[in-house]
Amino acid sequence: MSNEDEDLARAIALSLQETKRKPDLIDLDSDDDEEAQFQKDLERALQQSSVETSQSQSQLQPAMASSSSQPATNVFLSERAQLEKERRERQKRLRPSTSRKSSEGEESDDEEPPAKRHQVSTSRSSHLRSNVSSSSKILGSTSTPTIEQVFWNGELRQTATQHAEPRKDGQPVFRLTEVLGKRSEVAFAIMSSYSLDFPWIYEFFDRNIPVIMVAQPDPSGEATIKNVLPNWIRTTPFLRDGRGCQHMKFMLLFYKTGRLRVVISTANLIAYDWRDMENSVWLQDIPLRSKPIDDRKVTDDFPAILQRTLHFVNVKPALVAMISDNHPDLPLKSIDELRQKWDWSNVKVQLVASFAGKHQTWPRVIETGHPRLMAAVRKLGLRTGKSKQSKDLVLECQGSSLGIYTTQWMNEFHWSARGESAEDWLDSTKKSREKLPYPSVRVIYPTKATVQQSALGEQGGGTIFCRRRQWAAKNFPRSHFHDSRSKAGPVLMHSKMIIAMLQENALAGKRKQGQGTDTEDETDDDIEVIEPAQGWAYVGSHNFTPSAWGTLSGSAFNPTLNISNYEIGVVFPLKDSDEANRVACFERPPRKYAVKDEPWIQEESIHHQPE
């Protein structure tokens, strides 16, 4: 124990009897000064940690949320002490966090749990280290007041990165402090992330602010809730057999003025994603209604899907526990109040979520995964129809992790992306679906050369995932791959985006003139851009993989949709190619892989750190 800790321990001894009589969680109704209250919690945490370092962690179960239940005090204090110790050490060394505690990478064959990801070692790279002022410039200071901006109509921007400041394309960016808003105005937050650095994100909030964090479950995949910091509860959703991952990145930020900010992001809540990698953020501010409404009939608009999402990711018991423990005056007391208390009439984007699990019957299937994308496309009025003689849908699917692609799955996804019913897809025979050629899909993924030429080189590619066995698989659509290059500059992207454009099918036009036959093989190179082109864009946590979007089976009468991950994103219309070029995070048109091009495969890098 350090001298500082010993001093605290002696102070604790003088007030030990008083401490035993007080509740162990912060009481926001107390008249004590906020900083003094924090120090009291810290003292208890240090004392508890020194006495009970071998104590096993316990979980705060939903049943413990009643007022008569005992909070998970020992767990909270022990963990808080460790987190505070780490924070002190970071401040003494005056260095930023340069490596991720956990590496995000979705395993496309759905077999390997997220904890087993490969990564490139970055912790000892001298050119990856940045000074404190550089980090503050990109992330925004955790202590400096933020100039408040309000986005009543919604806003999509890329995040700032230290190696592309300012951006080459001149477009505005979001910093984390700008996304969170003025910290003194935040009253409550619900957030979700796959990779997490609790001590880091904790510094961006005032210490008395209640926060619910949706996180990745442990290898058991069990749904749990647990106190992890003063006023912070971590909740995890259920994962069948512990497979897949809780991959959603979202924030619900409730302000003291009554305003609610909804944030859909591709960035994890770790410094690396907000400083070194480029990510995408969509957000919109939602006004408080003058009077609550009681409308529970709508089941497929934005707030309805958002409420369903919160139920799936286990927020309800965490909310009950938070209110019961010490926060009876939360601005949100039940999930249903989202629709009732806030006015969503100005939200024009469509919300698309994937819920891990096995979904059966059409009412369930249509709520999640790529069938939900189909419903969103229809709501935007962008259904293509089944005729091959008019328009085709060209997809540009960009992400940081690849799947094991088959022609059947890619056509299945493309069918939904066109706004066509999965019922019609399943109505055809499985044998005929397996023989279809690959559809008009361009997979946007960085080449090895692009990663090597980026500002951080190969050591910056530790969260971009493709495996040799995927790339080398028989019939893998290698001819559909295009390079992923940021419009910002020499940085790598962790964004996940789909640009979908309705375009004239040049080959179909030839058929109309009698110049072609129905046996000619169509590829994405047969599609030419005819202005004006309409389309849509997707931004969110979904990579272009079966794990994220789901795989259909069964029959048109009795469908089954299997999904491995929890994902969330938004879909909105594009009026033409100019708007698509502006919205896309990658350079358009993307350059098709040349014969000599290889995808970035981090397990083959000289910097790869084996498990």
- Which helix (H) or strand (E) element contains residue 443? strand 441-444
CA–CA separation, 284 vs 483, rounded Å? 31
| Nearest alpha-carbon partner for 493 in 276, 304, 217 | 276
Bridge partners for 391 per DSSP? 504
Only one residue has tokens 């951080």, namely 456
Which of 327, 370, 482, 494 is labelled catalytic?
A: 494
Q: Which residues share a beta bridge with 263?
A: 251, 283
Which helix (H) or strand (E) is 250 found in, with range?
strand 250-255
The answer to whether the annotation marks 249 as part of a ligand binding site is yes
What residues contact residue 39 under an 8 Å CB cut-off, 6+ apart? none
Q: Which of 163, 247, 482, 542 is catalytic?
A: 247
Phi-psi region of 405 (alpha: psi -120 to 50; beta: other; left: phi over 0): beta
- 3-state DSSP assignment of residue 187: strand
118 carries an active-site annotation: no
Residue in 406, 352, 396, 267 with CA at minimum distance from that of residue 548:
352
Contacts of 295 (CB under 8 A, 6+ apart): 339, 340
Residue 547, judged by CB atoms within 10 A of its CB (0-12, 13-18, 19+), counts as: buried
- Bridge partners of residue 155, in order along the sequence: 283
Respond yes or no: is residue 494 known to be catalytic.
Answer: yes
Strand ranges inside 13-52, DSSP E: none
Task: Name the E strands within 40-124.
Answer: 119-120
Residue 535 β-bridge partners? 501, 574
Q: Which residues are annotated as a binding site?
A: 249, 496
Q: Which residues are annotated as a binding site for substrate?
A: 249, 496
Active-site residues: which are they? 247, 494
